[in-house]
Chain A
């Protein structure tokens, strides 16, 4: 089973600033990594797939990078609606599909 480790667990950033979230895999994923945003009481929303491709309708301030075992989600200028929990997911080798434990992005 591929393990995903996200860091930090909680990130405090001011609106308008940049946020950088990390996801590390226990083995190489090539580019088979996705990022999701989840707000309280809502289902996860796909933001990024194939490590760096924005899903339909996702603002350009969200960008993904990385390959192999190290991945990053960057939000270039935080808006109020961006404060949420972010999960990474690998789909290179399944079962099982695995998720990181999440990073909570909160207002500083």
Chain B
């Protein structure tokens, strides 16, 4: 069965970076985009970016350009999201999701807390 399993919660200080993993299984990794979405406490869903595993082409939300990097490791079918220069506004649950017009499978979410 399709699964997306994310890494555990993180606590970071302002200015630091965080890297979250999303390990996929149960399907052909190279056939589907993976997207990242976040949700601040009590708020809605914000799309962050996406990657095509086959071609490793990335697309990012304009608001995060320059701070967000999405990469893949095809040998382990894992996607990574690296967010730098963290501020308290980046405190949120981060989700990876598989795109099959639209997002049919999601990871369980990773809580990132940015606090001094």
Contacts and interface: CB of A to CB of B under 8 A. Distances in A.
A99 B103 contact: no
A99 B44 contact: yes
Contacts, number: 57
Tier of interface size on chain B: 20 to 34
A59 interface: no
From A55, A96, A101, name the one whose CB has the most chain B CB atoms within 10 angstroms. Answer: A96
Given A95-B61, A97-B35, A46 B103 contact: yes
B102 interface: yes
Nearest to A97: B47
Given A43-B95, A46-B104, A95 B47 contact: yes
Interface of B: 35, 37, 44-47, 49-50, 59-62, 95, 97, 101-104, 106-109
14 contacts: A43-B95, A43-B107, A44-B106, A46-B102, A50-B101, A89-B103, A91-B102, A95-B49, A95-B50, A95-B60, A96-B62, A97-B47, A100-B44, A102-B45
